[in-house]
Structure 1
Amino acid sequence: MLLNLTEEQIIQLAPDASSVKAGKGLATGTKWVLLEYSERAIWGHCQGSGRTPYQTVVDVKNIAFQCSCPSRKFPCKHGLGLLFLYASHSDLFREAEEPEWVTNWISKREEKAEKKERKAKTETPVDEAAQAKRQATRHRKVLNGIDDLQVWIKDLLRNGLLNVPERAYSLFDGIARRMVDAQASGLANRLRTIQEIDFYNDSWKYKLTDQLGKLYLLSESYKNLEKQSQEWQYEIRTQIGYPQAKEEVLAGEAITDQWMVLHKRSRKVNELNTETYWLYGRQSRRFAIYLNFITPGSLPEVNLVPGSVYEGELCFYKGVNALRALFKTSKLSNDAFTPTFCKDLEEATAHYREALQQNPFTEDLPILVENLRLAAKGNLLYLQDAHNKLIPVNVEDATRIDILSVTGGKPFSAFLLANDISWELNSIWYQSDYYFWRDERN
């Protein structure tokens, strides 16, 4: 077989539930007048209401779609239907030479990828004087913004925090906009995160003071940037909102491994869709985060399927225990594996404390733990290990019900994102099978 995707993994590629339903409706041999495959792709002709069948192809090496139908959804129902059909009835496909329309499409994709790689390697002359001037101007703007932020934080604490919940939006929105004007988008994002705290939950006081403390520490660190090590300078600048050029990242040392996709999260803000993928290296045992930024009308650079494994090279951004990375090379692999888990919550919390000591700005730390159960205590939900140690966990109600239906209340292994107040449960392994729940918010 070319690829071994489960139905759940294919569902994660769909743009919405209606596309999944329509795609499943096309996952039958009677809907297709042609079904073929090669080493690189599967393709077919789907008979629609018109005289001419739609030509649909899937690049199975990099999971990409192309269809002659007029749908604006990506992937369309025909691409999903073709994948659903191949996953369930691969015997209906016959091996064949690629027709010209398939070869041309894949060749253009490969040519585009090669062109992008050549561009990344091309050394374009840099006007160092102009660059230094721009950097100095931005540095002054950030410092001025930080001065205003620190005065704002001190005034907020001086006036007290009890009335923050009732005026959270107006309170944080203005200063967040000021940070955007100061070209400190990282500080603006932190302020918006504070603004989104659930102030109806009793834990809001802890979350607010924790976030304000980190915000002040970060702003003070930038004011003393030159006193920091080079690694910390990269970390602080990134946290403030300075970008690291892709070319610079890809020029760094690459880690070659088999990378399993642990989880995918989609967030849409002001028409920009951000896809976040958490990865885990089989040999390196290293976590990584890959980001896709998708503007309206554009297609994602990479389609990663949760639960799948990709062989390739990852280049990591500079910083203190940085997780964000870029693929230098990648291809889908059928060589599945199970990651290495912490044996209990004590080991997991020790790992979390160590990460915080190394970098106090650490948030959403990826952790894998085995032998867990969901446990309710009053209105709160916890993770419980074999030693009866408990830790608060954040799980959507629908996901909690799904987990209980899958496991029957028996122990499972989990991928978690750890934070100070509670940990977020995102995907599980039960009896060696991987389960993932769609994570989308606007």
Structure 2
Amino acid sequence: MDEQGALWTADQVLALAPDEASRRAGSKLGTAGPWSGAGSGGQGAVWGLCKGSGSTPYRTVVDTTGPAYQCSCPSRKFPCKHALGLLLLWTGGGIPAGPGRAEAPEWAEKWLAGRRDRARPTGPAPEPGPADPAAARRRAERRADRISAGARELEQRLADLLRGGLAAAERSGAGLWEETAARMVDAQAPGLAGRVRELGAIAGSGPGWPVRLLEECALTHLLDRAWLSADRLPGPLAATVRTRVGLTAPPDGPALRDRWLVLAQYDAADGKLTTRRVWLHGESSGRTALLLSFGAAGRAPQLAFPVGAVLDAELRPYEGGGGLRAELVEQFGAPAPSGAPPRGGTVGAALTAYGLALRDDPWLDAWPVTLTGVVPAPAEYGWQLADAGGTEREAVPLTRAAQARPGLWRLVALSGGAPLTVFGECGHQGFTPLAAWSPDAPGETVPLV
């Protein structure tokens, strides 16, 4: 195996794409036709010139140890279609792999050298200046007061809604909710603002919307009351409440180094912010971790890993949220090509795990679980995942969003009626499959998003 490790698969490359349009465009550029000067060398570098609509080809370079990307095209997507096409050309054998096969051109080497310089230790960190704990405490108190004022205002808004009847929410439209959300932003409570926008999107959203609106109003009311009574809550629950209203805290606790399997990666857009969620599973620790990366102003987040790859990395957990969210402290070497799936359980065990997680975080939409020995099957209400064996077989419905994605048919085709191992998010709306493994190829992770 050379310094870059084994080549990735095409599925792993396409799983890096920020959206379906980028997957299609990148696939078209995965052949030798549009490329010139393509090469690869030691330390995970792949580069090439891609012919575009202009007279000057786009300069594209990828550091597969990150992975990280650089392209001279004007695209705001990350990675762009040219980076995806270059990686597909590489995985297909269109670019010789291995150290010493080619020397990077000056433009590529300049970017690669900059990455190496930034990663190189620069000596001991400077001593921090004297902190003013009194000033920090006053700032925290002022923000807490603003959030409390916002929570009380939101409580009044919910009381007015219930007093006037839920039908009024459909007549008033989204304008009033947007105004309330803006007030929560002014109160420095982005978590409350997000929940208000969700309330505004429910009204008139289809059959059964009054029930869904009432449920979300109850959860929002519970969060308001929990914040206003946070000083009387147990420490872990108080930390979860702070996180839910939008107070961020640095990662806390000891760092954990492990070999982390990249289970899934997908983006969710909320207004002007794109959030990328990367699920990892520790080979030795057995822990599941969530990395979050954000992109503003229409830009895709920069953190991206090939699904199914294994990272030798050190993570540090954040406070609250069931201990799932973590920060990537350091990555050691390039991603390995593949790893075995996590040990899973039955549908009943997954539902129990979600129920226990709700005890620590009542606002939890879903919990990461791995199901083993399940079969996708149609039912009266749509598709479900059902236990294939055992005396007490159970089933969990797929969420409406999951049933509308192409990944459902990929899952059905992979199964062919045989049991699978499936990783996904289990919640009150059902199960969202994110990755699957066939018994015939347990080391090959098949992304479903």
Task: Quote the residue 2:423 is aligned against.
Answer: 415
Task: Supply the RMSD in Å over aligned alpha carbons.
Answer: 3.2
Contact 1:36 1:93 (8 Å CA) reproduced: yes
How far off is 1:13 after superposition?
2.6
Task: Quote the residue 2:139 is aligned against.
Answer: 134
Task: Quote the residue 2:65 is aligned against.
Answer: 61
Contact 2:158 2:217 (8 Å CA) reproduced: yes
The equivalences for 1:335-354 within 5 A come to 336-354=338-356
SS at 1:238 equivalent: helix
Q: Which residue identity does 2:403 align to in structure 1?
A: E
1:40-85 Cα deviation digits (max 9, x unpaired): 3223455779898755322111011234556665434443332112
The equivalences for 1:307-318 within 5 A come to 307-318=308-319
Distance 1:23 1:193 in 2: 33
Task: Quote the residue 1:156 is aligned against.
Answer: 161
Contact 1:275 1:293 (8 Å CA) reproduced: yes
Distance 2:286 2:46 in 1: 33
Task: Quote the residue 1:178 is aligned against.
Answer: 183
Structure 1 position 35 matched with structure 2 position 43: no
The equivalent position to 1:107 in structure 2, one of 104, 107, 113, is 113
Larger deviation, residues 354-363 vs 197-206: 197-206
Structure 1 position 392 matched with structure 2 position 400: no
How far off is 1:403 after superposition?
2.3
Distance 1:143 1:75, change over 3 A: closer
Contact 2:411 2:448 (8 Å CA) reproduced: no
The equivalent position to 1:429 in structure 2, one of 428, 437, 443, is 437
Distance 1:205 1:113, change over 3 A: farther
Distance 1:148 1:77, change over 3 A: closer
Distance 1:5 1:196 in 2: 40
Distance 1:194 1:116, change over 3 A: farther
The equivalent position to 1:8 in structure 2, one of 6, 11, 15, is 11
Contact 2:378 2:384 (8 Å CA) reproduced: yes
Task: Quote the residue 2:369 is aligned against.
Answer: 367
Larger deviation, residues 39-48 vs 393-402: 39-48
Q: Which stretches in structure 1 are left out of the alignment for 5+ residues?
A: none
The equivalences for 1:271-282 within 5 A come to 271-282=272-283
Larger deviation, residues 300-309 vs 276-285: 300-309
Distance 1:19 1:168, change over 3 A: closer
How far off is 1:16 after superposition?
5.2
1:102-148 Cα deviation digits (max 9, x unpaired): 443223123334589987x8634333333222222212211111112
The equivalences for 1:18-417 within 5 A come to 19-21=22-24, 23-29=26-32, 31-44=35-48, 55-68=59-72, 74-89=78-93, 92-93=96-97, 95-96=99-100, 98-99=103-104, 100-113=106-119, 123-165=128-170, 167=172, 169-170=174-175, 172-197=177-202, 199=204, 201-244=206-249, 248-249=250-251, 252-296=253-297, 300-319=301-320, 321-330=322-331, 331-334=333-336, 336-386=338-388, 387-394=392-399, 395-397=402-404, 398-417=406-425
SS at 2:281 equivalent: strand
SS at 2:43 equivalent: coil
Distance 1:182 1:239 in 2: 14
SS at 1:92 equivalent: coil
Q: Which stretches in structure 2 are left out of the alignment for 5+ residues?
A: none
Contact 1:308 1:332 (8 Å CA) reproduced: no
Q: Percent identity?
A: 30
Q: Which residue identity does 1:313 align to in structure 2?
A: E
How far off is 1:314 after superposition?
0.7
How far off is 1:327 after superposition?
0.3
Q: Which residue identity does 1:396 align to in structure 2?
A: Q
Larger deviation, residues 172-181 vs 107-116: 107-116
Could you state the TM-score of these two structures normalised by the residue count of structure 2? 0.84
Q: Which residue identity does 1:367 align to in structure 2?
A: V
Distance 2:123 2:319 in 1: 20
Larger deviation, residues 393-402 vs 132-141: 393-402
Distance 2:65 2:217 in 1: 45
Contact 1:261 1:309 (8 Å CA) reproduced: yes
Count of residue pairs the alignment pairs up: 433
Larger deviation, residues 216-225 vs 6-15: 6-15
Could you state the TM-score of these two structures normalised by the residue count of structure 1? 0.85
Distance 2:52 2:179 in 1: 53
Distance 2:21 2:209 in 1: 37
Distance 1:347 1:205 in 2: 31
Distance 2:346 2:222 in 1: 32
Distance 1:157 1:37 in 2: 65
Distance 2:61 2:79 in 1: 11
Distance 1:412 1:124, change over 3 A: farther
Contact 1:282 1:339 (8 Å CA) reproduced: no
Contact 2:258 2:282 (8 Å CA) reproduced: yes
Distance 1:309 1:129 in 2: 45
How far off is 1:315 after superposition?
0.8
Contact 2:318 2:325 (8 Å CA) reproduced: yes
Distance 1:297 1:190 in 2: 22
